[in-house]
Amino acid sequence: MATTGQGPGPRDSHSAVLVGRQMIVFGGTNGSKKANDLHVLDLGTKEWMSPECKGNPPSPRESHTATLIGDDKIMVFGGSGEGEANYLNDLHVLDLKSMRWTSPEVKGSIPAARDSHSAVAIGSKLFVYGGDRGDRFHGDVDVLDTDTMTWTKVLASPYSILRLWFHNSKVFLKKNLCKCSAMILIFLTACCSRICARR
């Protein structure tokens, strides 16, 4: 797709979040340097923009997650920072209305530092699964209640996720098909991580 404006340039391991007709790209690496810049692509006009953000942005990182909470906040969690084996478990919030970064204080059972994990929002809850920290793979599911900013660890294995899925599938299907898809995605990611870890 041909675009105009100053784009983010070649990179990988970044995050991309779709908000309406805009795609918001954050962080990643160009192979030699990790980034913490923010770029927005208007999918209607196909124009890149680099909005000026207030507050303190997350440190440069790759292989993190960025998740839309509601329709006006993006949460960035974890990833790999600058330096060797610098795995992160910090949380940052970008308010899309004010374009301000904040780093809220969180409580509870904070997830271990990691990168290459997955994250999905269901209502006001942020579910984080998997990832690695160099010496091990993670197999638990951590949930952040974004109303109270409290972390809890709720599941210990993908098999528990499967049991939860079958137990609640009828309720999920009746309420919201997207929630079903989110649970399936977490389960498939879990299975793939376990299979790869055994090789």
196: pLDDT strictly greater than 50: no
Cα 92 → chain centroid: 11
Asked if residue 165 is part of any domain, the answer here is no
Task: Spell 143-169 as b/e; 16+ CB within 10 A means b.
Answer: bbbbeeeebeeebeebebbeebbeeee
Residue 174: predicted pLDDT: 43
* Nearest one of 53, 148, 140, 30 to 89, comparing CA atoms: 140
Asked if residue 163 is part of any domain, the answer here is no
Asked if residue 164 is part of any domain, the answer here is no
Residue 197: predicted pLDDT: 46
Asked if residue 167 is part of any domain, the answer here is no
| Type of residue at 73 | K
Residue 71: predicted pLDDT: 93
* Pair type for strands 54-55 and 65-69: unpaired
Residue 107: DSSP 8-state: E
Asked if residue 23 is part of any domain, the answer here is yes
73: pLDDT strictly greater than 60: yes
Top-confidence residue, 187 or 102: 102
What percent of the chain has pLDDT above 70?
77
**Crossing angle for the helix pair 158-175 and 177-198, nearest 10 degrees?**
170
Asked if residue 186 is part of any domain, the answer here is no
Residue 68: predicted pLDDT: 97
Q: What is the mean pLDDT of the chain?
A: 84
Instruction: Give CA–CA dist 92/103, Å, rounded.
Output: 5
- Give the global pTM: 0.81
Number of structural domains in the chain: 1
Tens digit of pLDDT for each residue in 133-187?
A: 888 887 888 999 999 999 999 855 555 554 444 433 334 444 444 544 555 555 5
What's 46's domain CATH number?
2.120.10.80
Site of tokens 């309406």:
20
2: pLDDT strictly greater than 60: yes
Residue 154: predicted pLDDT: 83
Residue 135: predicted pLDDT: 83
Asked if residue 74 is part of any domain, the answer here is yes
Residue 139: predicted pLDDT: 80
What percent of the chain has pLDDT above 90?
69
Asked if residue 187 is part of any domain, the answer here is no
